[in-house]
Amino acid sequence: MKHQIRHLKRRDRKLAKVIEKINLEPLMKTNNHFRHLVESIISQQLSVKAADTITTRFIKLFAKKKIAKFPTPKDILKTRKNVLRSAGISGQKASYIRNIARAKIDFKKIKQMGDEEVIVELTKIKGIGRWTAEMFLMFSLQRDDVFSCGDLGLLNGMKKVYGLRKHPSRRQVEKITAKWKPYRTLAARYLWASLDNNG
């Protein structure tokens, strides 16, 4: 991570100022890629707090002997949609989660694919759009060079860091992010963090 930080600071002075103020922790390794996709669906268009509450309720639906662990695809498919909804999940999201469980995703195969190939493969499943696939690449597979051009938080971060009057255009985004390659994922994490930093 130190090498990536040095690269970003060297390539972009404005981002360097953000990096100086924020202490980012390295991402924790994850092997439960199915869980990440399900949680991404739950968190769509929700605040972090609301998403965490619903995710906790969702996991508790599958608790056995008071031990709550994340359900397997089989667990989810054996559970009625109205039971999933009782955790606070919308009917549409419950359908999407069941679609993911039904898809029998080969995560070993997914790991061997390039970034765009992963996006194409995952977006074949109804309920997974480009944004969800990009978040999966960034946080579950932990790919180094992913940037979600359609993420509102990242656009807000760019607007703040670069002193723009409005959200950057796609062309502006591509021009700015080109400087960060091949570590756009870390740059994105700093942009998100900048929104919580008043400096």
In the CATH scheme, what is the code of domain 33-140? 1.10.340.30
Q: What is the pLDDT of residue 1?
A: 84
Q: Which CATH class is domain 2-27+147-194?
A: mainly alpha
**Mean pLDDT across the stretch 119-128?**
96
199 confidence band (pLDDT: 50, 70, 90): low
Indicate which residues carry an active-site annotation: 151
Q: What is the pLDDT of residue 31?
A: 85
Q: What is the pLDDT of residue 66?
A: 64
Q: What is the pLDDT of residue 189?
A: 96
Residue 67 has pLDDT above 80, yes or no: no
Task: Give the C-alpha separation, 51 to 74, whole Å.
Answer: 23
Residue 163 has pLDDT above 80, yes or no: yes
Residue 140 in tokens: 């579950």
**Mean pLDDT across the stretch 11-37?**
92
Residue 63 has pLDDT above 60, yes or no: yes
Residue 198 has pLDDT above 80, yes or no: no
**Mean pLDDT across the stretch 128-149?**
95
Q: pLDDT exceeding 70 applies to what percent of the chain? A: 96
Residue 71 in tokens: 């359900």
- DSSP letter for each residue of 57-104: HHHHTT-BTTB--PPPHHHHHTS-HHHHHTTT--HHHHHHHHHHHHT-
> How does the average pLDDT of the chain come out, rounded?
93
Full-model pTM: 0.88
Residue 38 has pLDDT above 80, yes or no: yes
Q: What is the pLDDT of residues 72-115, one digit of tens each?
A: 999 999 999 999 999 999 999 999 999 999 999 999 999 999 99
Task: Please give the backbone phi and psi of residue 67, each rounded to the nearest 5 degrees, phi first.
Answer: -100, 115
**Mean pLDDT across the stretch 145-165?**
94
Give the rounded distance of the alpha carbon of 62 from its chain centre.
Answer: 24
Domain positions in the chain are 2-27+147-194, 33-140
Task: Give the C-alpha separation, 77 to 95, whole Å.
Answer: 10
